[in-house]
């Protein structure tokens, strides 16, 4: 009288993907703390035990969820990023995309920030490597910038990476707590500009320094006097 029939045999890839999709679905509905394996299995149309054929445990499932997300993000941006020229533009693009990702996947963001990154096994996880690749693009760009003479040579690329991703995280926690939204465009602009200011060789453009102003006025007076 069992209503549920034996789930048809399926390619492991498909089944894995199904479970991950189900997990993501349940996760976005319930959040981390109320995420129950039974519900994931239900949603995936399999039995609890079957999940454990594909994932060692709940933690691994969580990690895989995040890893897939990171792979998506990285591959999504790859082409566009190559099409963008100029250090400033490229950094601004990464910042903007990161903000968008957080905005679109607040649950996954929290999962990573709050649960996966603090995990003792994080360091040895694939997620760590993916995150390294994801954030490492900033390092890459900064180094290119230094080589091409656009950026100051004594810049720590790693620090720039931390500044970007750290400040974004710090700024978006209120949103992640569901306490309001943020404007990704504006924030990206603002942040990109400040970062750029801190690392580029260019002089301030928007304003003229007081020193220069004084120089100029003095020269003006001299000019008027003697010419």
Partner DNA sequence: AATGAATGAGGATTCATTCAT
Partner DNA sequence: TATGAATGAATCCTCATTCAT
Tally of CB atoms within 10 A around 199 = 22
CB of 169 to DNA, least distance (A): 26
The answer to whether 126 and 67 are in contact (CB under 8 A) is yes
Bridge partner residues of 151 (DSSP): 200
Closest CB to a copy of itself among 75 and 154? 154
The answer to whether 90 and 81 are in contact (CB under 8 A) is yes
The answer to whether 146 and 153 are in contact (CB under 8 A) is yes
Tally of CB atoms within 10 A around 166 = 11
Site membership for DNA, residue 96 (CB under 7 A): no
Site membership for a copy of itself, residue 37 (CB under 8 A): no
Site string (121-150) toward DNA, x via CB under 7 A: ------------------------------
Tell me 152's DSSP state.
-
CA separation for the pair 190, 107 (Å, rounded)? 25
Report phi then psi at 36, rounded to 5.
-115, 135
Sole binder of DNA in the list 2, 82, 85, 203 (CB under 7 A)? 2
Sole binder of DNA in the list 12, 180, 206, 210 (CB under 7 A)? 12
Site string (187-206) toward a copy of itself, x via CB under 8 A: ---xx--xx-xxx-xxxxxx
DSSP 169-189: HHHHHHHHTTS----HHHHHH
Sole binder of a copy of itself in the list 44, 94, 142, 168 (CB under 8 A)? 168
Note the residues at the interface with DNA (CB under 7 A): 2, 4, 6-10, 12, 15, 34-38, 46-50, 52-53, 57-59
Note the residues at the interface with a copy of itself (CB under 8 A): 110, 113-114, 117-120, 122-123, 149, 152-156, 159-163, 165-171, 173-174, 176-179, 190-191, 194-195, 197-199, 201-216, 218-223, 225-227
């Amino acid at each position: 009288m069992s209503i549920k029939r034996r789930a048809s045999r399926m390619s492991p890839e498909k089944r894995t993907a199904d479970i991950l999709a189900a997990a993501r679905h349940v996760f976005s509905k319930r959040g981390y703390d109320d995420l129950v394996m039974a519900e994931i299995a239900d949603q995936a149309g399999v039995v609890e035990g079957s999940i454990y054929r594909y994932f060692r445990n709940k933690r691994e499932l969580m990690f895989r969820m995040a890893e897939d997300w990171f792979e998506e993000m990285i591959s999504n941006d790859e082409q566009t990023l190559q099409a963008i020229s100029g250090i400033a533009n490229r950094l601004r693009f990464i910042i903007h995309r990161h903000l968008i990702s957080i905005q679109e996947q607040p649950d996954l963001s929290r999962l990573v920030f709050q649960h996966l990154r603090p995990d003792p096994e994080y360091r040895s996880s694939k997620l760590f490597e993916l995150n390294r690749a994801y954030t490492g693009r900033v390092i890459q760009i900064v180094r290119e910038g230094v080589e091409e003479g656009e950026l100051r040579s004594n810049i720590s690329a790693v620090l720039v990476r931390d500044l970007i991703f750290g400040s974004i995280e710090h700024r978006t926690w209120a949103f992640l707590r569901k306490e309001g939204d943020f404007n990704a465009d504006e924030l990206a602009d603002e942040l990109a500009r400040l970062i750029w200011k801190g690392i580029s060789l260019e002089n301030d453009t928007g304003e003229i320094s007081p020193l220069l102003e004084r120089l100029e006025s003095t020269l003006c007076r001299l000019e008027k006097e003697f010419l």
